[in-house]
């Protein structure tokens, strides 16, 4: 399996007035080429911060404390602005959380597409750009004739989100990052969009990296799943292995809390306790205060990542 992105020992802090929040804590993560990798975890677990770092964007006052983000072997964190501008859109593009609001309300969709194309496309040619835009709108099952002359407020939330997905494909990137792409939408629209994403992935072979708190979504589209908890990547593996042989007690609880994903998991059980206070993280394993299997060592030492099966790793003292 060839990796498109290799994240090594990535740590990102937010120094705030009340203290420093470690949003991403010594994370190692590979994103294999041509696959859909999903990252799940509760709100605040660090998914968005990690994903934004991959395109070289950490929101103010975030600080990268350690690590590397290697894209095809090149460290994104060492790229200058010119290199970053080329890398974003062309190599990796991102559809942000609540992306529908990133559309400019006073420009038609056509004007917005053309503006982006003009800025980023080499040898920009308006008719070629429009042809490509129409093709992409077709991919996300929107009628170009109707949508191009609309203003954002004339489109539904699901349509706007599909426009944003089409936008992200404009420069034929190798990878798209989708941060909670359907959170604000109703379940039927969510399903529709995930089917579209699946088809785009299958037909274009594009690498996808998806962040969501909705594990049911992951089951539908992802081939690999990582689980984040309080800034740590606590488990990662192939989707079947993660669903049928989850190793981390937190992953098991996440699966049990999801609406019956697997036949044997008909009963929903809420996850006990609350996520840790980011200003006051527990010593040892960050999950130990909520863990029914916690041992004395869990209160003392942060566990190492260990292999539990081929391509399946977990950060838990139960497996050390």
Residues at the interface with ligand ATP (CB under 6 A)? 14, 16, 21, 23, 41, 43-49, 59, 180, 213, 278
Please provide the distance, in angstroms rounded to a whole number, between the alpha carbons at the two ends of the chain: 26
Of residues 35 and 47, the one with the C-beta less far from ligand ATP: 47
Reduced to 3 states (helix: H, G, I; strand: E, B; else coil), residue 192 is helix
CA distance 300 to 121: 53
Of residues 257 and 265, the one with the C-beta less far from ligand ATP: 257
Of residues 248 and 317, the one with the C-beta less far from ligand ATP: 248
Q: How far is the CB of 251 from ligand ATP (least distance, A)?
A: 15
Distance of CA 312 to the CA centre of its chain: 19
Of residues 10 and 147, the one with the C-beta less far from ligand ATP: 10
Q: How far is the CB of 307 from ligand ATP (least distance, A)?
A: 25
CA distance 316 to 246: 12
Give the Cα-Cα-Cα angle 165, 168, 170 (nearest 5 degrees).
Answer: 115
Q: How far is the CB of 204 from ligand ATP (least distance, A)?
A: 26
CA distance 234 to 304: 9
Q: How far is the CB of 47 from ligand ATP (least distance, A)?
A: 4
Of residues 113 and 232, the one with the C-beta less far from ligand ATP: 232
Q: How far is the CB of 289 from ligand ATP (least distance, A)?
A: 17
List CB contacts of 57: < 8 A, sequence separation 6 or more. none
Of residues 16 and 119, the one with the C-beta less far from ligand ATP: 16
Rg (CA), the chain: 20
List CB contacts of 73: < 8 A, sequence separation 6 or more. none
The phi-psi region of residue 148 (left if phi > 0; otherwise alpha if psi is between -120 and 50; otherwise beta) is: alpha
Strands (E), the chain: 3-16, 19-32, 36-40, 63-71, 74-75, 92-95, 175-179, 207-212, 224-229, 232-238, 305-309, 312-315
The phi-psi region of residue 303 (left if phi > 0; otherwise alpha if psi is between -120 and 50; otherwise beta) is: beta
Of residues 14 and 113, the one with the C-beta less far from ligand ATP: 14
CA distance 212 to 301: 29
| Tokens 């770092």 found at | 53
- Look up residue 108 and give its two tokens: 């038609």
Q: How far is the CB of 180 from ligand ATP (least distance, A)?
A: 6
Of residues 43 and 81, the one with the C-beta less far from ligand ATP: 43
Of residues 3 and 183, the one with the C-beta less far from ligand ATP: 183
Give 38's DSSP letter.
Answer: E
Q: How far is the CB of 24 from ligand ATP (least distance, A)?
A: 7
Q: How far is the CB of 238 from ligand ATP (least distance, A)?
A: 22
Q: How far is the CB of 126 from ligand ATP (least distance, A)?
A: 37
């Amino acid at each position: 399996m060839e990796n498109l992105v290799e994240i090594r020992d990535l740590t990102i802090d937010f120094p705030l007035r009340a203290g420093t929040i470690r949003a991403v804590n010594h994370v190692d993560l590979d994103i294999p080429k041509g696959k859909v990798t999903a990252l799940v975890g509760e709100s605040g677990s660090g998914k968005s911060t990690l994903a934004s770092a991959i395109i070289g964007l950490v929101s103010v006052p975030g600080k990268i404390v350690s690590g590397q983000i290697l894209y095809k072997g090149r460290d994104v964190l060492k790229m200058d602005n010119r290199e970053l501008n080329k890398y974003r859109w062309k190599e990796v593009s991102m559809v942000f959380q609540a992306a529908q609001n990133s559309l400019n309300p006073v420009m038609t969709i056509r004007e917005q597409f053309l503006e982006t194309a003009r800025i980023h496309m080499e040898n920009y040619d308006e008719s070629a750009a429009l042809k490509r835009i129409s093709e992409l709108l077709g991919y996300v099952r929107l009628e170009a004739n109707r949508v191009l002359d609309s203003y954002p407020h004339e489109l539904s939330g699901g349509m706007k989100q599909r426009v944003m997905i089409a936008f992200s494909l404009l420069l034929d990137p190798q990878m798209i990052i989708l941060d909670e792409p359907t959170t604000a939408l109703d379940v039927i629209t969510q399903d529709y969009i995930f089917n579209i994403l699946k088809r785009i992935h299958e037909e274009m072979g594009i690498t996808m990296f998806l962040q969501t708190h909705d594990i049911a979504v992951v089951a539908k589209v992802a081939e690999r799943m990582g689980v984040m908890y309080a800034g740590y990547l606590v488990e990662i593996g192939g989707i079947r292995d993660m669903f049928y042989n989850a190793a981390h007690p937190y992953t098991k609880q996440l699966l049990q809390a999801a609406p019956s994903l697997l036949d044997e998991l008909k009963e929903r059980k809420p996850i006990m306790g609350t996520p840790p206070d980011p200003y006051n993280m527990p010593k040892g394993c960050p999950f130990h205060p909520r863990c029914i299997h916690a041992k004395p060592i869990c209160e003392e030492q942060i566990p190492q990542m260990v292999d539990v099966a081929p391509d399946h790793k977990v950060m838990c003292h139960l497996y050390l």
